[in-house]
Amino acid sequence: MNITYKNKRLERSLIGINVAAAILVIASFVSLFGFDTPLLPSSVLYGVQMFLFVYFVSEKICRTFNAESKLEYLRTNWFEIPLFLLLVVVVFTKERAFTAADEDTIVHIAVGTYLVLQVVGKVCRTTVHLASLGTNPTRMLIASFLTLILVGAGVLCLPKATHGESLSFVDALFTATSATCVTGLVVRDTGQGFTLMGQSVILGLIQLGGLGIVIFGAVFSLILGQAFSVRESAAMQDLISAQTLNRIGNMIAFIFMATLIIEAAGMLGLYSLWDNQPGWTGATRDRWFFSLFHSISAFCNAGFGLFGSSLTSYSRSWGVYTIICPLIILGGLGFGVLYNLSNVTADQIKRFFKKLCHKECRMTMEVPKRITLQTKIVLSLSFLLIMIGAVMILLLEHVSETAEPSACPGVLDALFQSISARTAGFNTVDIDAMTAPSKLVLILLMFIGGSPGSTAGGIKTVTLAVIAMTIITTLRKRSEVEMFRRSIRPVVVGRAITVTVLFVFVLFIAIFLLSMSEARNPDIGLSDLVFEATSALGTVGLTTGITGLLTTAGKLIIIVTMLIGRLGPLTLLAALTFDLKPVKYNYPQEAVIVG
């Protein structure tokens, strides 16, 4: 909601001061908690935070009087009042509720929480607003990813983020990019190399990168009851690929609620899994954190784990297959598909009870909601790829003469790797020990990836389906590409071909550059580089074990490849060429021979 202010110059000044205040808030927290000893005396830093608290309160009062409609401003920022009152209650009741030793700590926590919420709220709201300013919201999406990566890398460089020696900036940048792009390639063991602070930062990057910081900004605005302007709604429609503007709020709310419910269910389901780990001595708090970390990582298709060997220690545990696999699949289907399935299911339930309780309404009921073509393609092709991949891995590992019988994966392991290879990056078997044909199957699955609108990478399942049906249409000498008795528009066919060609081109360039940067390393072969580059571009995270052996140049190449894979080559190209205007003329046609 856009608020009109009387004094425009004052409003612009407050915006500039807010930016400086937000930077000071971040700097104060980094100084307090990012180092073994605070950079400045704690009393000074807490004093700075108290000053910032007074400023934010004064800013709200100033903006209230500067607004053309004070009622409209208070309605938009209603949450500020209960938040401030809660802080006041904590301050004035500290002597009764807490001991003298804890009084200052409680005040610091309350003020710090208030400042964090202020900064998060302003950042989230600003991302949505900035996305609506230009005619190309994808540039804001790219900028938000780059900003998130740089901020994450800076935090991971702090001494308190890691055990032992601090990360170099390149390694921190690699880790932050891998987490934000939900890839899962690591240069340092996440469980042993990072402290709880570092692991929490990685988890936050996974969640923000998986759904997108702009989506979180929209969710934050909706939770606080702030309506979108028309330009903001149009920007969000472009970013989440919603069909109509009036569904923006419903779609964003569904994304948030579905993520919350699915990840919470995964966390509860994984809670009892960790007892099977040999030598597990973790406390209840550690068990909950492990469950939350792996649930979010699986649903966001990130592939980050807190065990150095991924999930190989749980290859015989049913929890991996009944909890992790569904989380990966649901995260890889795409929110558009989940939204359609939920709507159809809710409609069927509603119609059932209406028929049951109001028999006279049977002839006047509205047309039932249907499963869209997108959902049909995604579900059918996902099922086929999972089954075909599992069968191929199982056969190739057992038929190959080079494979050791004791190391051959079982049916469940083959099924898990087929699911994980397209999207997530977890593994229950040693990838490096697999045969070359099986690795090639994994490369093909990583190349295809998940589905549009999901956190997965690759060319996407729908792209593969359109290209396959285009080939079949050509062989059958039909004029239109058809699937499930529906015709596919030529522009969609062209987009699918463009995505695939760009993906192949970027993959070839990445492999070529890696072959030069790692030429002097005898422990890295070309097949390893092909596997690593495909995993990075597909944002999968599977590796043959060479990630930590890469040179600085090789790591930078993988960083760029992961970023391109998360954003999509076509998205980057569209952002760069958005201002190009289409020509309004056509040249005469002339036949050419192809093939």
Q: What confidence tens digit (pLDDT) does each residue in 574-588 have? A: 655 555 566 677 788
Name the 3-class secondary structure at 482: strand
pLDDT of residue 504: 92
Cα torsion angle, 149, 150, 152, 153, sign: positive
59-114 tens-digit pLDDT: 888 888 888 877 777 777 777 777 778 777 777 776 665 555 566 777 788 888 88
Q: What is residue 557's predicted lDDT score, i.e. its pLDDT? A: 95
Nearest alpha-carbon partner for 389 in 366, 367, 419: 419
438-461: pLDDT as tens digits? 999 999 999 998 888 788 888 899
Q: How far is CA 140 from CA 132, 257, 480, in A?
A: 9, 24, 36
- Give the mean model confidence (pLDDT) for residues 229-240: 53
SS3 call for 13: helix
Give 193's contacts (C-beta < 8 A, 6+ positions apart): 162, 163, 164
Distance CA 205, CA 528 (A): 27
Higher pLDDT, 136 or 486: 486
pLDDT at 510: 95
Which pLDDT does position 536 carry in this prediction? 93
pTM beyond 0.75, yes or no: yes
**If we measure between CA atoms, which residue out of 239, 202, 244, 201 comes closest to residue 219?**
239
CA dihedral 26, 28, 34, 38 (to 10 degrees): 170
- In contact, 128 and 217? CB cutoff 8 Å: yes
Cα four-point dihedral sign 402, 407, 413, 416: negative
DSSP string, 104-160: HHHHHHHHHHHHHHHHHHHHHHHHHHHHHHSS-HHHHHHHHHHHHHHHHHHHHTSGG
Name the band, by pLDDT with cuts 50, 70 and 90, for residue 217.
low
Q: Which of 130, 160, 181 is nearest to 19 (CA)?
A: 130
**Whole-angstrom distance, CA of residue 120 vs CA of residue 112:** 12
pLDDT tens-digit series, residues 468-491? 999 999 888 888 888 888 888 888
The predicted-structure confidence for 325-382, as pLDDT tens digits, reads as follows 999 999 888 888 888 899 888 888 887 777 777 666 666 667 778 888 989 999 999 9
Mean pLDDT across 520-545: 90
Would you state the pLDDT for residue 480?
A: 86
**Closest CA relative to residue 131, chosen from 21, 75, 212:** 212
pLDDT digits (tens, 9 = 90+) for 140-196: 777 778 888 999 999 999 988 898 888 899 999 999 999 998 898 999 988 888 998
Per-residue model confidence (pLDDT) at position 150: 92
Report domain extents, the chain: 1-133, 372-577
pLDDT in tens, 244-293: 445 666 777 788 888 889 999 999 998 887 765 554 566 667 788 889 99
The more confidently predicted of residues 314 and 135 is 314
Query: How far apart (Å, rounded) are the C-alpha atoms in residues 295 and 252?
Result: 21
Query: Taking the C-alpha atoms of 436, 437, 443 and 446 in order, what is their torsion angle to the nearest 10 degrees?
Result: -130
